[in-house]
A = this chain, B = another copy of it.
């Protein structure tokens, strides 16, 4: 039996409060507006004006923020940090070509996502060139777990206790008239996803958009999923669904061997 990695191996004293605050300022640009003034950042983070000022000046000096009049906004330097993750996990070199290949075969965009802070985060996304529709989601986009196909599949990969904990604490948001707000029904859908190994969700996050998702690897060990989305109209035809599922599963299998998940 290996040591449980979730054991507490550090105390509160070992956490650098200043770094935490600085990171929260950076994160404020993700949650809030793209351009923010010092007071806006202050109210977003809840920190004192003077504190915000020093942190923002630091981030500016480091080249992570630019100043335009009184507003600050992120610079492309944050992409470089992200690029480190993508390169380290061979997303560009290994994953992207595979997504592209099956994306072309299917004629739809395929996305890869993983769990991060109670949301599904896109790690990679194929761009099917012929597609008329584009939902504007990119690498780093966060999708709600309970109401998207990738989200439900990611939850299905978690332990039953983790799912229960999430479902209990999560506030369900009615994105569309079709959004399922019944906790028990969602829990059941996650269970089905787990046993079936795939999941389909219709119009619960964006009206008229449906998604299908399968895990990369076996349920229980997998931590990453791929998914495809398209107009609900075309995603209800059993023949199309069957074909999409088949291709997604082959794509997932290829990713599983080509991209050793352990990194």
Contacts and interface: CB of A to CB of B under 8 A. Distances in A.
Interface string A13-51: 011101111110011011101110000000000000000
A7 to B, nearest CB: 11
Given A10-B57, A129-B128, A121 B79 contact: yes
Contact of A104 (B121, B126, B130): B130
A62 B15 CA distance: 10
Interface residues of A, number: 82
A64 interface: yes
Nearest to A13: B54
A83 B34 contact: no
Nearest to A93: B136
A165 B88 CA distance: 32
Q: Indicate the member of A87, A116, A128, A137 with the most B CB atoms within 10 Å.
A: A87
Contacts of A263: 34-35, 73
A164 interface: no
Interface stretch (A139-147, A171-179, A200-208, A227-235): A139-147
Interface of A: 5, 10, 14-16, 18-23, 26-27, 29-31, 33-35, 53-55, 57-64, 67-68, 73-93, 96-97, 99-101, 103-104, 114, 116-117, 121-124, 126-131, 134, 136-142, 263
Given A30-B80, A83-B140, A87-B138, 5 more contacts: A16-B55, A19-B19, A27-B81, A83-B142, A97-B134
16 contacts: A16-B22, A16-B54, A18-B22, A27-B84, A29-B88, A30-B83, A33-B88, A34-B89, A74-B88, A75-B116, A76-B114, A79-B139, A79-B140, A92-B138, A97-B134, A99-B127
